[in-house]
Structure 1
Amino acid sequence: MTTATGRHRGPVAVIGLGYAGLPLAVNAATAGYDVRGLDTDPLRVGQITQGVPPVETVTTPDLAAVRHRLRATTDPACLTACDTVILCVPTPLDSHGRPDLGPLTSATTTVRDHLRAGQLVIVESTTYPGTTDGPVREILQQTGLTAGIDFALAYSPERIDPGNTAYNLANTPKLTGGLTDRCLDRAAAFYTSLGAPVHRTRSTREAEAAKILENTYRQVNIALVNEFAQLCHHMGIDVWDTLAAAATKPFGYTPFRPGPGVGGHCIPADPMYLVHRAGEMGLPFHLAQTAQQINLGMPLWIADRICKHLDDSGTRPTDADVLLLGVTYKPDVADIRNTPALPLIRELHARGVPVRFHDPYVPELDTGTATLRRAEDLPKALTSATLTVLLQRHRTYSARTLAGSRRLFDTTGPAHGTESFAL
């Protein structure tokens, strides 16, 4: 197509239509590009085609506004016609906690099979430094085309925060690194055309490292307050009053809050990519490893607190009725990726404690060994439960609502009401 300024904008392909890829596809379509959204999940593709967003980072009106420019498909043949191809696929950890580049490798292989001279390929998936100019480039160059000469290659990490409406592509700087200066110029021009402020890095590796640093910063500071909360509990100190006092310092301190653990894609996974890569080079990343272990241990500590309360109240574990409120990984989102609620449930089940849950965003929860269905009558569930545990403070859970519980363990902040206790 040709814009009003006379500048040609060729079609764009976004591979992976999840929390990061779908908003990017919508933004590109809004900016005037013809966009092909490629995903291996036919259900997701069908939802988008019908105008139903499969993730909350995009709304129904968002999809309706770009229905003539955005087409979702499972057919990778669409890639050949696109001038720009962007990879937004997941980069999870495997069952052993090691980086799983399988989805990214598979998506890159798909791009390779449809690569042509002149295209711009951008990786947005979070990964360890050296991935874009290493494995990704190697796969793409199996075509006989040379990155930086025959096609452009760049890296620009997604910076999506599900549920956060204050920040978006227009006001969050887009870190961008290129294999060469010409690659960087082209990638920067693309993101600028979407209305994004661009911050250029020296190479793809600095952009890859910066994204992991951002999430390691959060991981380490959350681990700090999580371990601090445990110390405060054993020392008889009110952790929430202490945190509020520390937060009055107007310099040199950034507030973080403890909780039942960390979840989502980024914090539990991204730092481990750098830990793994550093380990391969004989360079341990001690702080990130320690923080990971502290945060992974929080659900176990919460289970200890629950069982201690049951024991103190004379309730046998098998006779208890524990109700968990909020099983997503953060408040007011439907995302359960790496939610700490799952290891907590598994730990309680292992101790013989029956568990129910309520969450306005989650109708059922697969624990790995069983499928739990949501308690639909919340007031009744609150009054019947031996102990209610607040894991995520969704807007649904007002102080008035929580007052209906017989006994409340609030892991999200100062406890509500007299018949309750906090983290």
Structure 2
Amino acid sequence: MDLIEKIESKKANIGIIGLGYVGLPLAMEFCKAGFTVVGFDIDDKKVELLRQGKSYIKHIDDSRIADNGSRFSPTSDFSKLSAMDCIIICVPTPLNRNREPDMTYVFNTTKIIAKYLQKGQLIVLESTTYPGTTDEDMKKILEEKGSKAGEDFCLAFSPEREDPNRKDFSTSTIPKVVSGYTKKCLAATKALYDSIVIKTIPVSSIKVAEATKLLENIYRSVNIALVNELKMLFDRMGIDVWEVIEAAKTKPFGFQAFYPGPGLGGHCIPIDPFYLTWKAREYEFTTRFIELAGEINTQMPYYVVQKTADALNERGRTIKGAKILILGIAYKKNVDDMRESPSLKLLELYKEKGAVVDYNDPYIPEIPKLRHYNLDMKSIPLSNDTVTSYDAVVLSTDHSDYDYQWLYAHARLIIDTRNAMGVSLNDRKVVKA
């Protein structure tokens, strides 16, 4: 039985490396479709929780893990890769402190796969990366022992399109771009994802698929930078940018609404554009548009802090020594994901200014040691007395759990970065930032 027949008959063993916000929901979809799935992760705590039928991601219920328990086997034993027919890589692709790609996770994972590589296996990368990662860098690692991509094993790239906690789309209903090193590789990859998603979109090469994912996120980054810049300009002009956007989006064509905020968050938009910027240097090309958008977006936390300082100053208070409460540490509303969250930068900047800072987030009870931050903080409970005691409350993430009318009634000053309060620019208690 060849690989495609195994996939179509649901007899293919699926291995997914990385059980985070991309890998875990993907594993659940394959289990739901009738496949046997082995989930690989280096974090033994995650593996143990999953073995107990428990989820560590808010929008994935424990019941989904438990319901698929007979088909899903989480493990940190990577020797089991040799028994997989299809191996999907869903590991992080962060930036280092110089804003250059950190490919450690992808390349180390590829080296482990190479150690256990078997004839006839399909290897798929889903992690967002620069064009050339899969069919140049990964291929070289996988072929070191003599196996040939397209002959002895199949190699492919299919970019993830997860949007945590989104209600109108899920892993199975989002069309999936698929590619392969050869036509045979593409056919196997298409068959694999056809088994779980509503529609697959085959493209002519792996590099096209890699570039597609980058374009999706660069498009968002650039447009968010545009409204962030307009927010700062319109603020000086006494114009409410949120009202402008609401009016503009009534046009039924030629306009898509993007919204400003305290900065970019999540694993995609703040990071992915710089993968192309870095790769472009190899071709002696400067991606000025992308870099300008990145410059504007990374400056937004500084803008929020300056607006806070100005607002406190108008009330006879300095930011040094002021008590500040940040609402929301997650990068977007109603999720427990704080990867690249601008709230983390806000915490750091306020502390550098000498403020006394606390935070509240209903989904993130404490901030562990992170890649670029070591804040060691716990979420404080909200009450009438606690909110009133702060000189300023900074609304960074507009979780639905927050009672904004209650907040308005008890806070002395609100720095609203999301227009969650819905008040006019003339409101004395709320500063839009």
Q: Which TM-score band (shorter chain)?
A: over 0.9
Query: Residues 97 and 204 of structure 1: is their aligned pair in 2 closer, same or farther, counting only changes over 3 Å?
Result: same
Provide, for residues 191-245 of structure 1, a one-character-per-residue CA deviation record: whole Å limited to 9, x for no partner: 1112441000001111100001000000000000001000011122121221222
Query: Residues 147 and 4 of structure 1: is their aligned pair in 2 closer, same or farther, counting only changes over 3 Å?
Result: closer
- Look up the SS of the partner of 2:253 in the other structure: coil
> Which deviates more from structure 2 when the two are superposed, residues 220-229 or residues 162-171?
162-171
Partner of 2:126: 124
Partner of 1:413: 419
Q: 2:301·2:346 contact (CA, 8 Å) conserved in 1?
A: yes
Partner of 1:375: 380
Q: 2:124·2:155 contact (CA, 8 Å) conserved in 1?
A: yes
Distance, in Å, in 2 between the alignment partners of 1:4 and 1:394 is 44
- In structure 2, give the amino acid aligned to 1:235: M
Distance, in Å, in 1 between the alignment partners of 2:97 and 2:383 is 35
Query: Residues 57 and 153 of structure 1: is their aligned pair in 2 closer, same or farther, counting only changes over 3 Å?
Result: farther
How many residues are treated as equivalent by the alignment? 423
Q: CA deviation at 1:5?
A: 12
Partner of 1:261: 263
Partner of 2:160: 158
Query: Residues 6 and 109 of structure 1: is their aligned pair in 2 closer, same or farther, counting only changes over 3 Å?
Result: closer
Q: 1:409·1:415 contact (CA, 8 Å) conserved in 2?
A: no
Q: CA deviation at 1:8?
A: 5.4
Query: Residues 87 and 57 of structure 1: is their aligned pair in 2 closer, same or farther, counting only changes over 3 Å?
Result: farther
1:201 pairs with 2:203: yes
Partner of 2:306: 304
1:92 pairs with 2:94: yes
Partner of 1:30: 32
Partner of 2:49: 47
- In structure 2, give the amino acid aligned to 1:310: L
The Cα RMSD (Å) is 1.9
> Which deviates more from structure 2 when the two are superposed, residues 268-277 or residues 379-388?
379-388
Distance, in Å, in 1 between the alignment partners of 2:298 and 2:84 is 42
Query: Residues 8 and 214 of structure 1: is their aligned pair in 2 closer, same or farther, counting only changes over 3 Å?
Result: closer
Show structure 2 runs of 5+ residues with no match: none
Distance, in Å, in 2 between the alignment partners of 1:195 and 1:93 is 30
2:21 to 19, 22, 25: 19
Partner of 1:345: 347
Partner of 2:234: 232
Q: Give the TM-score, by structure 1 length.
A: 0.96
1:144 pairs with 2:146: yes
Q: CA deviation at 1:413?
A: 1.1
2:106 to 104, 107, 125: 104
Distance, in Å, in 2 between the alignment partners of 1:154 and 1:25 is 18
Q: CA deviation at 1:59?
A: 1.8
Query: Residues 276 and 57 of structure 1: is their aligned pair in 2 closer, same or farther, counting only changes over 3 Å?
Result: farther
1:211 to 210, 213, 220: 213
Distance, in Å, in 1 between the alignment partners of 2:343 and 2:216 is 24
> Which deviates more from structure 2 when the two are superposed, residues 212-221 or residues 338-347?
338-347
- Look up the SS of the partner of 1:164 in the other structure: coil
Q: 1:225·1:257 contact (CA, 8 Å) conserved in 2?
A: yes
Distance, in Å, in 2 between the alignment partners of 1:267 and 1:57 is 20
Q: CA deviation at 1:119?
A: 0.6
Q: CA deviation at 1:29?
A: 1.3
Show structure 1 runs of 5+ residues with no match: none
Q: 2:175·2:197 contact (CA, 8 Å) conserved in 1?
A: no
Partner of 2:335: 333
Percent identity over paired residues: 38
Q: 1:410·1:416 contact (CA, 8 Å) conserved in 2?
A: no
